[in-house]
């Protein structure tokens, strides 16, 4: 179904007001041409006009009218409320309390990020179980030896005191191997490490005083806080990257 937001600025407006009435009459038997004109006068739909003044409606206009008429019939909403809902839809929001079969607009990007981003539970530490040799890490991650050396040079991966690599090293190495398919190298990724260190330093300033507070649960509350901060940080980073990428694609 055509989204409501597509009604504005649609260049495929070819339907006459009579065509629109024919499209909607079966679903809304009481609809008249006068009612469609009235809804236009109220600013609920804005069909294009030909040079001679004839209205030309798009599929998006029809979807918009169907939404208005459905909200009136099924929910008894006044036009003022419906107009507010349409305004919210035009801004990329989905108004609350609408029926599930009503046309919906594009979702808000940040909402999608919220639905899929890590939560605080994802940052609950787990004991390291792996003890990998250098060759084992290279093979498991799909890296080349020189790539691992570069990652160590820039501090993205480090050996443990016993000379082995652990689960964290493998996780980073696998991500880097995927990024390498796009031409990114260790020197490009140094900024990620620097940014992460800054975040850790900032969060430490917040959490360390909490951990020093009196009470048996102080340490537990500090641990919960730092996990929540980590999750929120990832969500913010994802939102900012998605916004930036959308601008890049839109400018192309």
Q: What is the pLDDT of residues 144-168, one digit of tens each?
A: 999 999 999 999 999 999 899 999 9
CA distance 133 to 130: 10
- pLDDT band, residue 112 (cuts 50/70/90): low
Residues of the chain with pLDDT > 70, as a percent, come to 83
Exposure of 61 in the CB half-sphere (CA atoms within 13 A) = 28
pLDDT band at 83; cut points 50, 70, 90 = very high
pLDDT score of 93 more than 80:
no
- Which domains occur in the chain, in start order? 4-106 (1.10.1660.10), 121-251 (1.10.1660.10)
Q: What are phi and psi of 64, to 5 degrees?
A: -65, -45
pTM, two decimals, is 0.52
Count of Cβ atoms closer than 10 Å to residue 109 Cβ: 14
Residue 7's CB is within 10 A of a number of other CB atoms, namely: 26
Distance CA 104, CA 143 (A): 45
Phi, psi of 84 (to 5 degrees): -65, -40
Averaged over 175-186, what is the pLDDT?
91
What tokens appear for 149 in the block? 């050396």
Q: What is the token pair recorded at 73?
A: 């019939």
pLDDT value at residue 113: 53
3-class DSSP state of 11: coil
What is the model's pLDDT at position 251? 53
H/E segment holding residue 94:
none
Q: In this predicted model, which residue has the larger pLDDT, 20 or 103?
A: 20
> pLDDT tens across 207-239, in order?
999 888 888 888 898 989 988 998 888 888 888
* Tokens (6 digits) for 221: 């509350």
């Amino acid at each position: 179904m055509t989204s409501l937001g597509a009604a504005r600025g649609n260049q495929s407006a070819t339907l006459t007001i009579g065509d629109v009435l024919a499209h909607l009459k079966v679903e809304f038997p009481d609809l008249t041409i006068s009612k469609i004109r009235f809804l236009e006068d109220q600013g609920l739909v804005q069909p294009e006009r030909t040079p001679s003044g004839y209205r030309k409606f798009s599929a998006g206009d029809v979807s918009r009218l169907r939404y208005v008429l459905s909200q009136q019939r099924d929910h008894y909403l006044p036009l003022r409320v419906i107009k507010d809902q349409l305004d919210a839809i035009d801004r990329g929001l989905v108004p609350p309390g609408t029926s599930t079969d009503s046309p919906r607009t594009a979702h808000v990007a940040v909402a999608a990020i919220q639905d899929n981003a890590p939560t605080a539970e994802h940052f609950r530490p787990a004991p390291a179980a792996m003890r990998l040799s250098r060759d084992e890490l290279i093979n498991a991650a799909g890296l080349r030896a020189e790539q691992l050396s570069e990652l160590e040079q820039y501090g993205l991966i480090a050996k443990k005191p016993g000379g082995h690599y652990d689960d964290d090293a493998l996780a980073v190495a696998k991500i880097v191997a995927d990024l390498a398919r796009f031409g990114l190298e260790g020197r490009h990724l140094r900024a990620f490490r620097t940014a992460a260190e800054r975040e850790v330093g900032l969060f430490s300033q917040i959490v360390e005083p909490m951990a020093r507070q009196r009470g048996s649960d102080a340490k537990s509350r500090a641990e919960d806080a730092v996990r929540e901060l980590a999750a929120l940080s990832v969500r913010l980073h994802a939102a900012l990257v998605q916004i930036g990428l959308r601008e890049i694609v839109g400018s192309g």
